[in-house]
Amino acid sequence: MKKIFYLYLFFCVFNLNAQITQEYIFAKYESKIDSLIRKIMEDDKFYERLGYLCDVFGHRLSGSENLERALDWLYSEMKKDGLQNVAKDSVWVPHWVRQEEKCELIFPMQKKIPVMAYGGSISTPKEGIEADVLVVSSFEELKEKASLAKGKIVVYNVPFVSYSQAVPFRFRGAINAAEVGAVASLARSVTPQNNSLHTGMMIYNDDVNKIPHGTLNSEDAELLHRLQNRGITPRLRLTLLNETLPDFLSWNLRGELVGLEHPNEFIALGGHIDSWDVGTGAHDDACGCVATWAAVKYIKNAGLRPRRTLRIVMWANEENGVRGGKAYRDQHSHLPHSLMFELDAGCFRPSKIGFSGPDTIFSIVKFFEPLLQKIDSISVVRGGGGVDIDPMVRTGVPAMSLWTESEGNYFRYHHSEWDTFDKIVAQDFKKCIAAIAVAMYLYADLPVDYLSFIKQASH
């Protein structure tokens, strides 16, 4: 009987899907999409709102007053926009505070070396740490030279080729250095940008001694390496003073455009509202929050009421804990979600919509391409996802994300003082809004039984 039921369900869904063709979508939606894109590209309101968010509230590290003030303002603005069910969902977030950072080369010469602690790092003693340096280019080299590392400051001089290649030295560099007896560790900034410090999350292992961990720029990492290669052992005096306070009560912020036919079926879209405590988090990820908010607002302004509910979410604490994404899963996974969407790639020129989920749904989303290409040369590809939406995606909900083409600039700005509003190009930002609005409206309005596809795939 169970097999007969699922066979029946399959044919019902298959027949419905057969009606959704590229021609159907183009004929039914082209005029609406043309009007929607035009209104978005002609309006600077949300570009100005993004500037206000970045310039007035500044960085928004979890636990900071800046983040809470920004959330209060965003809550008020969403209400003014006439969004429905605007609400704050409580999230307990980490509260790490940067205090004092300095480093000096004291042998073979005296030279100030700019440093920055990684988020979550413990402090050095108040008077700092003075120690010789061991420079390595890989974890393998560190292991080979383990006998030389005891009592030293390990410096990882790893040039940036890609984020995935370089970030492990930031993320677990302190663990590996402590395992061989180092008293502190520093990693070359995870960026192609010269003379630039970039922070980010690092971790400890409770089974390994915890040591201070921070970053230095490429020029100083290279200098220390050259000295070592000449047979000279550099010596540093390093001070990193930070404080980890008790967890802080913060919020995920959400607001909705309630669906006309399936108000209790949700498409959640957004970005993370927290940022690191340097720069103002313009590309990472204020623009993702404001662009998704804008997309829903423009759909609403155009008088378009999709079948399903579009729910904007600004997630807290992506940068150092993903507490917002996990809290959203814990608080809302009992509700039917047909899609989770995230923009956390900066608001450069939109290039791709990535989708992860059942093949049948992907084939429908692929039909969006001709309408998306009215904005720019945007393709629909496999592979959507994001850190904030991942907890919900792991419950079986499909994922979608917007990819952008930064021409290498994203990681020049990422987690640094460079990530400020002046780096946002208005035309690119509005194209991102338009791409999100088109994809979300089509997905939310099509007469497709997404939930049945998702249920089938789970079996």
Mean pLDDT of the region 221-234: 98
Look at residue 297 and tell me whether its pLDDT is greater than 50: yes
Mean per-residue pLDDT over the chain, rounded:
95
Task: Give 339's strand partners.
Answer: 267
Q: Residue 459: its pLDDT value, please? A: 74
DSSP 8-state class, residue 118: P
User: How far is Cα 93 from Cα 111, in angstroms, rounded to an integer?
Assistant: 38
β strands within 24-114, DSSP E: 84-107, 111-112
What pLDDT is stored for residue 18 in this prediction?
53
State percent of the chain over pLDDT 90.
Answer: 94
* 132 contact partners, CB below 8 Å, separation of at least 6: 151, 152, 153, 233, 234, 235
Sign of the torsion angle spanned by Cα atoms 202, 205, 206, 212: negative
* Active-site residue set: 318
- CA–CA separation, 342 and 49 (whole Å): 19
Name the DSSP class of 154. E
C-alpha dihedral sign at 57, 59, 60, 65: negative
Number of other CB atoms surrounding residue 292 within 10 Å? 27
Least confident of 11-20, 162-171, 361-370, 409-418: 11-20
Q: Is the pLDDT of residue 81 over 90?
A: yes
The model's pLDDT over 100-150, given as tens digits with 9 standing for 90+, comes to: 999 999 999 999 999 999 999 999 999 999 999 999 999 999 999 999 999
Structural domains of the chain ordered from first start: 2-94+247-458 (3.40.630.10), 109-233 (3.50.30.30)
What's residue 2's pLDDT?
A: 42
Q: State pLDDT tens for residues 302-328.
A: 999 999 999 999 999 999 999 999 999
Distances (CA, A) of 109 to 185, 218, 233, 234, 391: 21, 19, 11, 9, 50
- Encoded tokens for 78: 């969403």
pLDDT of residue 396: 97
Cis ω on the peptide bond leading into residue 285 (within 30° of 0)?
yes
Q: What's the pTM?
A: 0.94
pLDDT in tens, 438-447: 999 999 999 9
Which residues are CB-neighbours of 39 under 8 A, at least 6 positions away?
298, 301, 302
SS3 162: coil
Instruction: Please tell me whether residue 380 adopts helix, strand or coil conformation.
Output: strand
DSSP H helix total and E strand total for the chain? 17, 14
- Tell the residue number behind the tokens 């410096």, with chain if given: 155
C-alpha dihedral, 455 to 269 to 325 to 352, nearest 10° = 90
Interval 350-406: pLDDT, tens: 999 999 999 999 999 999 999 999 999 999 999 999 999 999 999 999 999 999 999
Evaluate whether 252 touches 83 at the Cβ level (below 8 Å): no
E strands in 108-223: 111-112, 115-117, 129-136, 153-156, 184-188, 213-216
Query: How far are the Cα atoms of 156, 157, 220 from residue 186, in angstroms, in the given order?
Result: 6, 9, 11
**Is the pLDDT reported for residue 8 higher than 70?**
no
pLDDT at 275: 98
pLDDT, average across residues 220-239: 98
| Predicted confidence (pLDDT) at residue 7 exceeds the cutoff of 90 | no
pLDDT band for 12, please (50, 70, 90 cuts).
very low
